[in-house]
Amino acid sequence: QVQLVESGGGSVQSGGSLRLSCKVSRLSWNRYCIGWFRQAPGNEREGVAAIDMDGITHYADAVNGRFTIFQDKANNTLSLQMNRQKPDAAAMYCCAASGGLGAYYSPMSPAEYRNWGQGTQVTVST
């Protein structure tokens, strides 16, 4: 079973940058998608960014142009570079993996994913 362990969370000033990492183990699917999701208190979990087995990336409108998702396959790591942080970015960030994908899938939908990490907290100070 896929294992995901996040790191890199912490406090960042509004307008600052932070990089999250996710160690991904046992990712053996030919067709898969891995992504970052976040959930703030009182809010539903939402997709932030995702990348599939072909390197195609997807971003939420709220972060497009400021966040970058990338996968280091050699080191089994998924990263999320977050620049120009806004106060509303404060949340618990989790990485997730979905495998055995069919022809159609929803990379930004939490319902697409069955494997989740424990999460790493990000706070944004003003």
pLDDT of res. 9: 96
Token pair belonging to 111: 């319902």
Burial class (CB in 10 A: 0-12, 13-18, 19+), 101: middle
Judged against a pLDDT cut of 90, whether residue 102 lies above it is answered with: no
**Mean pLDDT taken over the chain:** 95
pLDDT of res. 120: 98
Q: Could you tell me the pLDDT band of residue 101, with boundaries at 50, 70 and 90?
A: confident
Closest CA to 82 of 74, 71, 70: 70
Judged against a pLDDT cut of 90, whether residue 121 lies above it is answered with: yes
For 99-118, what is the mean pLDDT?
Answer: 92
CA dist., res. 126 & res. 110, Å (int): 29
pLDDT of res. 46: 97
Q: Are strands 91-99 and 77-82 parallel, antiparallel or unpaired?
A: unpaired
Mean pLDDT is lowest, of 40-44, 68-72, 100-104, for: 100-104
CA dist., res. 94 & res. 19, Å (int): 13
Count CB atoms within 10 A of the CB of residue 87: 12
CA dist., res. 88 & res. 55, Å (int): 28
pLDDT higher for 122 or 27? 122
CA dist., res. 13 & res. 37, Å (int): 20
